[in-house]
């Protein structure tokens, strides 16, 4: 028995279109309806034949859904809910895929009585954007974190968890504040650092941009991948998760300053000890199935 | 006509063993001799059959070489030259693969009269170490930077350039100081940042190490790859290229502080504008053949 039979996806970019493909692959009998604010995206999704129906308004997309998944940037969640709230059927579950959860949970007051609201975050993505970039396997063996508000109906939570498990995701539940701190470490700070270093490197006197490009295989190119992620999505993440990002950034800056001092004073032992510790963490991530063991992420060297 | 007929490789880790394999692949008639300070590494290279001969001492390895390539950490280059200098034949070229060049160029006084000395740096590598990690294609379409000292014999420089081109590398020449500044940007700072952020994430109150591992696909795991690189090699790089690394690190810190301020004050435009600029740089790197266009570096999602 499937957890849902009529799923509406609002926002059809990388994540929304991957979700559509994943539902088609794993639950082919589910009726899939979608909406995107961009007419060009709606037309492209139609060409790609990812959905049973593409609605002209958010309200029309959700009118008979038993699950609605918001796949828009965090800063647009509120407006998306406003646009559809009058058409949400009683008993439906509204969820989302945003990378920040406390700011989404704060929108609970917009949800009509009798509709369940369970913020969620599948920890998966690539640096690409748009409906052509999506693929059905994006969520395979990745974690989806549910952050239900206190008092949420347990059966509704279980149905949403079952939905993600059907897509081959692993499911964890935590409160929204803790989610935002954990993701500040594992996702938001890495993106901020990557954006920052790519900005620094592209704007230096003494080293040309052409040199940065040519010799990027020395390490720099690794940072350019996540620094190519969707600008609007990431702007919204940093604005919505300000407190946790600033807290973790402060910790990072302290640690980097300690390394700077070790280099200035020629303290090789401090450097060597850290560099040995960090090696172990990669091994653990690979053992946990969260990255490839192939050198260079398995890039083709031929 | 081959640029060299008898090549000696001193140090048989990732780079040295890749060089041996690459010479075998592209110039199979070259006689290859090698040496490594570790008896275990020498035995393993023997099992892998990477060389025509494995010498018991550095002197025995170089005694009839026309090219000697030092593939040891930058901090060991001086000792390696001392150990072999009495046995270097007249007319031979001594080169290296170190990631820092001014500190290697400073060793020129140790090279006997009549022997050419041309520091070099193939900008290639992976996060793995040791002779089993090497492969012949490591240098394909990567840049090798030669940093000859003023007055170096032009024919010797041309022969070394031809050697790297035969291995399918692209060759560039610049002075050692400029090399060290360019690589501080494209390689040394990225490694320092990666080591630092992985250290920060593994040592936080409020977020467990298990959580960091589980949700690392949000971006963090990208940093763990280069933070798994050889600790001794990288300790030496930071100590040997102190001035350039500290200069570039200062620039990075300023830029990161500006981003921190933009987040604190809710300045979304500054964030959005940077994030849009950095996207272009990745496209340029891919167009230049220095990274893969496949999402997620081509990691397998199945």
Q: Would the pLDDT of A205 be above 90?
A: no
A163-181 tens-digit pLDDT: 999 999 999 999 999 999 9
Helices (H), chain B: 14-26, 39-48, 58-62, 77-84, 102-105, 154-166, 176-183, 189-201, 209-214, 220-226, 231-240, 242-264, 268-287
- Polymer length of chain A: 302
Task: Report pLDDT for A302.
Answer: 63
Residue B114, strand partner residues = none
Residue A34: which pLDDT band, with cuts at 50, 70 and 90?
very high
Task: Report pLDDT for A110.
Answer: 98
B53-87 tens-digit pLDDT: 999 999 999 999 999 999 999 999 999 999 999 99
CATH 1.10.3660.10 for domain B178-266:
yes
The C-alpha atoms of residue A242 and residue B262 are separated, in whole angstroms, by: 10
Task: Report pLDDT for A184.
Answer: 97
Mean pLDDT for the stretch of residues B93-119? 98
CATH 1.10.1750.10 for domain A6-174:
no
Indicate the average pLDDT of chain A: 96
Q: Could you tell me if B159 and B93 are in contact, meaning their C-beta atoms sit under 8 angstroms apart?
A: yes
A115-128 tens-digit pLDDT: 999 999 999 999 99
The C-alpha atoms of residue A44 and residue A17 are separated, in whole angstroms, by: 11
- Exposure letters B226-261 (e unless 16+ CB within 10 A, then b): bbbbbbbbbbbbbbbbbebbebbbebbbebbeebbe
- What DSSP designation does A224 have? H
Mean pLDDT for the stretch of residues B6-35? 98
Task: Report pLDDT for B300.
Answer: 80
Q: Would the pLDDT of B257 be above 70?
A: yes
User: Which among A174, A253, A296, A300 is the top mutation candidate for probing chain B, defined by the most B β-carbons within 10 Å of its own β-carbon?
Assistant: A296
Q: Could you tell me if B230 and A167 are in contact, meaning their C-beta atoms sit under 8 angstroms apart?
A: no
Q: Could you tell me if A104 and A98 are in contact, meaning their C-beta atoms sit under 8 angstroms apart?
A: yes
The C-alpha atoms of residue B259 and residue A284 are separated, in whole angstroms, by: 31
Q: Would the pLDDT of B183 be above 70?
A: yes
Q: Residues 197..256 of A with a Cβ closer than 8 Å to B: which?
A: 197-202, 204, 206-207, 209, 211-229, 231-232, 234-236, 238-239, 242, 245-246, 248-249, 251-253, 255-256
Q: Which of B92, B216, B250 is nearest to B159 (CA)?
A: B92
Find chain A residues with C-beta within 8 A of B225's C-beta. 222, 282, 291, 296-297
Find chain A residues with C-beta within 8 A of B172's C-beta. 214
Backbone Cα Rg of chain B: 21
Q: Would the pLDDT of A141 be above 80?
A: yes
Q: How many CB pairs under 8 A join A and B?
A: 359
Q: Residues 18..77 of B with a Cβ closer than 8 Å to A: which?
A: none
CATH of span A178-290: 1.10.3660.10
Q: Would the pLDDT of B285 be above 80?
A: yes
For chain B, give every domain's residue range: 6-174, 178-266
Mean pLDDT for the stretch of residues A41-60? 98
Mean pLDDT for the stretch of residues A91-108? 98
Contact A299 B291 (CB under 8 A): yes
Find chain A residues with C-beta within 8 A of B246's C-beta. 260, 263-264
Q: Could you tell me if A11 and A41 are in contact, meaning their C-beta atoms sit under 8 angstroms apart?
A: no
Q: And the tokens for B144?
A: 């090798």
Task: Report pLDDT for B284.
Answer: 94
Q: Would the pLDDT of A301 be above 80?
A: no
Task: Report pLDDT for B302.
Answer: 63
B237-256 tens-digit pLDDT: 999 999 999 999 999 999 99
């Amino acid at each position: 028995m499937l957890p849902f039979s009529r799923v509406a996806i609002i926002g059809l970019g990388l994540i929304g279109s991957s979700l559509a493909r994943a539902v088609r692959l794993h639950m082919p009998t589910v009726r899939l309806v979608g909406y995107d604010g961009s007419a060009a995206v709606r037309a492209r999704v139609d060409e790609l034949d990812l959905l049973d129906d593409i609605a002209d308004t958010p309200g029309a997309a959700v009118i008979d859904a038993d699950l609605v998944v918001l796949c828009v940037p965090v800063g647009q969640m509120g407006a998306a809910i406003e646009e559809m709230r009058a058409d949400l059927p009683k008993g439906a579950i509204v969820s989302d895929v945003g990378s920040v959860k406390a700011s989404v949970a704060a929108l609970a007051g917009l949800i009509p009585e009798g509709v369940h609201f369970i913020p969620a975050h599948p920890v998966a993505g690539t640096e690409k954007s748009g409906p052509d970039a999506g693929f059905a396997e994006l969520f395979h063996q990745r974690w989806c974190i549910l952050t239900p508000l206190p008092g949420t109906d347990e059966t509704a939570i279980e149905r949403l968890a079952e939905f993600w498990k059907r897509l081959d995701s692993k499911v964890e539940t935590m409160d929204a504040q803790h989610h935002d701190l954990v993701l500040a470490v594992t996702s938001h700070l890495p993106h901020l650092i990557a954006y920052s270093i790519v900005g620094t490197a592209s704007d230096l006197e003494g080293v040309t941009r052409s040199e940065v490009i040519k010799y990027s295989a020395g390490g720099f190119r690794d940072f350019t991948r996540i620094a190519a992620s969707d600008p609007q999505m990431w702007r919204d993440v940093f604005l919505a998760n300000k407190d946790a990002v600033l807290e973790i950034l402060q910790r990072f800056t302290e640690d980097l300053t300690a390394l700077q001092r070790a280099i200035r004073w020629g303290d090789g032992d401090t450097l060597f000890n850290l560099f040995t510790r960090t090696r172990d963490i990669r091994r653990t991530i690979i053992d946990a199935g969260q990255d490839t063991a192939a050198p260079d992420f398995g890039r083709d060297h031929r």
